[in-house]
Every structure is written in C-alpha cells, then in structure tokens.
Amino acid sequence: MIAGPTAVGKTGCAVEVAEAFNGEIVSADSMQIYKHMDVGSAKPGAEELSRARHHLVGEIDPREPFSVALYQKLAKGAIEGIFSRGKQPIVSGGTGLYVNSLIYDMDFTAPPPQDDGSGRRELEELAALHGSESVHGRLAAADPEAAARIHPNNLKRVIRALEVIEGSGRRIRSFEDSFVKTADYGTVLIGLTRDRQELYDRINARVGDLIEGGLVSEVESLAAMGLDSGDISMKGIGYKEILGHLRGEYGLDTAADLIRRNTRRYAKRQLTWLRRYDDMKWFNLSENSKCDEFREILEWLSEKM
C-alpha cells in the first residue's frame, strides 16, 4: 500500500511499483472514484493509465450515495480479482478511512432498522423525562464496556450503542477493536512525504494547473447534471470552492486561494492520520533527485517481496 498526502507523488510511485512487480493499482482516493470528476480529483493521466491497470478510478456516479463500507467491498473485490490473475495488488491513495478499511477488519454492519422508529423514540422520551443518565444506565446494564467509553451526555452515541445491542444482539465494538489487521492478505505499508515547503509548492502549482485545465467548466457541467453542495461528491476540495465562485460569492482568484489553503490543511491532516501506523515505512522524496525519486522504494520492496 502506497499512502501519503495529496500532491506528494503517489500516482507516479504506484505506477513505477506496478511495472516493477507485475501489479495492478487499486485507488484509495475518495474523489478519483467518481465519474465526470477528472480535473478536480487529479486522476491519473492517459500515460499513467496505459502503463498500469487502475481500479476504482472513475467508476461511481457522483449523484449516487457512496460510503466507506461500499468502498471496502469494491476494493476487496478488486484485490481478489488481481490476485486471481496472478498479479500484485498495489493500493494507492490518501483517504484515511479507505486505507483503514483495507488494512483492518473494520465492521460496517448496521443493526436492523426499526420499522417505525419506536425504539429510538422510547429512548429519547426516557431521556427527556428522566435525563440522559437513565438511558446511559440501560446501556451500562447491557454493555458495561461501551458505557464506560461513552459519556452519558452523548445521548446520540448512547442510543446508537443500544440500537446495535437490542437490534442485533451484539455489543458495539470499541475504536481500538477496529484496529485488528485483516487476515485476507498481508500488507506492506509505504508512506510518502516531502519537505513541507516543497509539498506546499507542489500543492500550489497543482491548483493552478487544475484551474487552467478546466476545473471551472467541469464543476459547471456537474452542476448542470443536478449536483450541488448537498451532494457528498461535491464536498471535495476544489469542487466546493468553485461552486461558491459560481454562486457569485467570490471571484476565481479567491476560489483558487481557498483551494490552495484547504488543500494544504488537508495534507497536514493526512500526514497526521498516516503517521499513527507504526509499521509504515516512510520515504522522503525530497531527498532524491527526480530521476532517482522512486529507486530507494523499489530496492526496499525487492527485499520485502
């Protein structure tokens, strides 16, 4: 798995690894998965797509709801198919929850829904009459460990935990319990980074390229399809800022500045997320020349595989 912040160079690295190890690439990017969203998501170009087969790039209609659970199902199906062809799956992306869903046995099973919502209303009425502590007490009786983790004032989570228990007979899993490595396959984790200023320069340059490459017209086309800021797909960085521009809230230069700022902040959050993986091997691409950018990674992988 090749992970890292936006604009660090994941796609180029994944293609090099795929060519070196007879692999196919599975995207772990929450925006590249959508159709019609090519410019703003910085999808792999024609040359990169010709060098390695990519999965989960441009496959989902942006007007349809999408979730981490569905991503996990599709990605694991793609990985299974790659293995069946005798090739090496290479996951590449920076969306933390997508990465988690493939590394760990994350349980996305929802409890059976209440037919009429009577169970939830009953708990809400109990809290209104006797305080949230009364609902928390019911949780403590059913699942003491969950009650210890969830504050009594967090009524929404308390009710959710009770719905899981009463709807399925299972105790709700703790956050820590979700971090159990999957047994479906082995994972080798590679993290890419660059010196901060270089990464920020790359982000700033990319935003300029996106604007010049037709991001505004792409967002206009998506809006013409009926998509707006209420759609999950349009909440991605680049799309939401251009929507604001098209609504007349600010000029294009301001929109570009907002995209740069928000992308830099997102890159920082991505690095914070990825650095909690103790078994991730990090490579600073700033320490190598352009022609040797991925040489160290390929040599390291040759020893691991």
Judgement on whether residues 253 and 234 belong to the same structural domain of the protein: yes
Domain identity same for 94 and 197: yes
Confidence of residue 168 (pLDDT cuts 50, 70, 90): low
Q: Is residue 24 part of a domain?
A: yes
Instruction: Identify whether residues 252 and 283 lie together within a single domain.
Output: yes
* Helix (H), strand (E) at residue 193: strand 189-193
Q: How far apart are CA 233 and CA 224, in angstroms?
A: 14
Residues 9-38: tens digit of each pLDDT: 999 999 999 999 999 999 999 999 999 999
Which pLDDT score, from 0 to 100, does residue 115 have? 45
Question: Does residue 239 contact residue 37 with C-beta atoms inside 8 Å?
Answer: yes
112 occurs within a structural domain? no
User: What SS3 class is residue 181?
Assistant: strand
Last residue of a domain, one of 145, 172, 199: 172
Same domain, 164 and 198: no
Report how many domains make up the chain: 2
Residue with token string 């914070």? 272
Q: What is the CATH number of the domain that holds 152?
A: 1.10.20.140
Whether 113 maps to a domain, the answer reads: no
Looking at the fold, whether 86 and 204 belong to one and the same domain comes out as yes
Tell me the per-residue pLDDT of 237-287, one tens digit each, with 9 for 90 and over. 999 999 999 999 999 999 999 999 999 999 999 999 999 899 999 999 999
Does 161 share its domain with 235?
no
Residues in the chain: 305
Identify the CATH number of the domain in which residue 273 sits. Answer: 3.40.50.300
Residues 185 and 165 in one domain: no
Contact 94, 6 (CB under 8 A): yes
Residue 72 and residue 12 in one domain: yes
Q: Do 196 and 234 belong together in one domain?
A: yes
Helix or strand or coil: residue 263? helix
- Do 217 and 290 belong together in one domain? yes
Q: Tell whether 199 and 263 lie within a shared domain.
A: yes
Start-to-end CA span in the chain (Å): 13
Span 150-157, mean pLDDT? Answer: 82
Residue 250, in any domain of the structure: yes
What's the rounded mean pLDDT across residues 130-136?
A: 82
pTM of the model: 0.78
The strand pairing partners of 281, in sequence order, are 190
φ and ψ of 154, to 5 deg: -85, 70
Higher pLDDT, 201 or 127: 201
Domain around 163: 118-172
